[in-house]
Structure 1
């Protein structure tokens, strides 16, 4: 973290942003340390929380510049998601691929309908930032430092060297990227859902696992899936591990309302056709009841 923040601070002030770097950093750094992120404080109430709250953002070349510039992250998708929560209903949010907590943090600032959140994030660096960033809501959040997949165990996990949002169990997420491999814990999705998802609470679903969403969705029991009122899923056109296409179709068909990117009233066949591609493009799928 040893570099001068003056230029960043001047830029943010000039743009009248509501987030500001905390303090100056020393000119030198001990050789046993490495810079991994920045700690910010909110100057005003905004999408990321209340004035005075802190925000921890790991360094990368994709997410951190956008968060620093805008003091929010993919807010339009999040606002659309919140707009489809049923009025007067309280929810448990399933945030699978929670990353550093931007979605869970912003949705709880935006809506008082999220009563609980289950945040699943396998990467230990992102998980540390996730816990820090959701500290203001820690009384209603459960944290799981693991991936969801087909079975319990220790598995290979791929980390994009330039994008903290592109960490995945799917090796094709690293196509033409610099990356490293680590080992992480994985839970059987069916078993995890049975153990941790209440059978009473209405559910909201957000998943962004960089090409592993289909596996997780199809292994989510239908009796749980049918209690989800709104779902936001990243659909990425990359090579994917095997999954049950019929089970995926049934879960998509259970939602009467579907929007893929800007395309409204999209059919399940159109969604399946899109996700079957391999050109590394992606869109967000929003579904609601």
Structure 2
């Protein structure tokens, strides 16, 4: 009970601070003359969100009231919250992350791309909420395939894992273990996007293309923790041992950065040789 009360207080403070940073001009409302305090009034936020003033006041006071996804998204739009702030709002108001209700991010900042390029012999890439590869470095293309030449569907990491002969050859005996782990992560992401036609279409296509997907998808295994190590078999340089590190991009809650770090000197030397050959 104490945790719920603390969360309600945090929600009230968060809403007040987001309201205080906006002015009427920013949201298309008349200024109404001088204001004793900065920011929008509660009544103005209520109008923008399409809720009653009393209900919004109760929410901002941290009272125990029921909130729906639709209303929280209306408040998100009214207060001009970004993706990270929207996630924070949902966690405070419901205790759960919000469903994905917008188009996935398909590009990265120049700084993030520069980070990938600076990883040298470490294959690194970025995936969005649909598990599409949206950015990569040269090392990643040399190991996992030439993403530049792939179609958007081929750049989806789940599609490629289950339909590409090259992916199966790259992982060899570890393919099934890796595929089941990645599929469980894919299932966890799907649970946050129910009703999205893209997911329905992708699942139907995977069912049609992959016998393993047809067998494993109905098992409903869910996993959010990325694997730690992997052994790959490259057609040119042979076996490669990588450690696996994944983290969320600081400027976007929907992007995950993955860096594969060589675990031994032979792997480092092979990666350097591949990069020199590709110059």
RCO comparison, higher one (Cα < 8 Å, 6+): 2
TM-score (norm 2): 0.26
- Choose between structure 1 and 2: higher helix proportion: 2
Which structure would you say has the larger Rg? Answer: 2
- If the length of structure 1 is used for normalisation, what is the TM-score? 0.26
Q: Which has the higher strand share?
A: 1
